Amino acid sequence: MRLIIATKNESKTEEIKNILSDVSFEIVSLDDLSDEFEIDEDGNTFYENAKKKALTVSQVHSNDYVVGEDSGLCVQHLQEAPGIYSKRYSGKDSTDSKNNLKLLNQLKEVSSENRIAKFICWLVLAKKGKEIARFQGELKGLIHNKLEGANGFGYDPLFFLPEFNKTTAQLEPKQKNKISHRYRAFIKLKKFLTENI
């Protein structure tokens, strides 16, 4: 059986493959398919975007299971921004670097203890254009006052975990994969797949 991860983000795909390494599915991403999917993430929530990705791809690849995933960073002081706009926070030509610099700039007057944030991940599992199940994962932390660490991607160099005294970009990938918001959502998916499919 094949499980399609509805993303073209290589870093995300690699992280997901590591988490699901022992499930009895062939795991592929949109990059492995011959189709060209242009999915406009126009939902108002992570769940809506994840569902749209899953249903769109599963309508075309109806014999496969498809996982739509949407995740991002929510900062309490910024009324949960960047939220669903995490990837394109700094505008049309956004990059991880530009997004991180914008976030640092917006929080420059905010004290460490008030930089409360969380990573959120929503997953939707679909087949034949219908939702089968949904899962959510969260990781709570703080926004650091400078970029630190070379691992990970996105906001990892700024996402500080007090219990480790490190950013998620300073954690070893194996360590991060055992605590991340994505891990917490995908471990629920893994349990569902193992017990139900």
Catalytic residues: 70
Phi, psi of 32 (to 5 degrees): -85, -5
CA angle, 32 then 67 then 129, to 5°: 100
Residue indicated by tokens 């390494």? 21
* Three-state DSSP class for residue 155: coil
Q: For the chain, how are helix, strand and coil distributed in percent, rounded to 5?
A: 35, 25, 40
Helices (H), 20-172: 46-60, 96-106
Query: How far apart (Å, rounded) are the C-alpha atoms in residues 37 and 30?
Result: 8
- Supply the angle between the helices 10-19 and 181-196 in degrees, to the nearest 10: 50
Distance, CA of 70 to CA of 48 (rounded, Å): 9
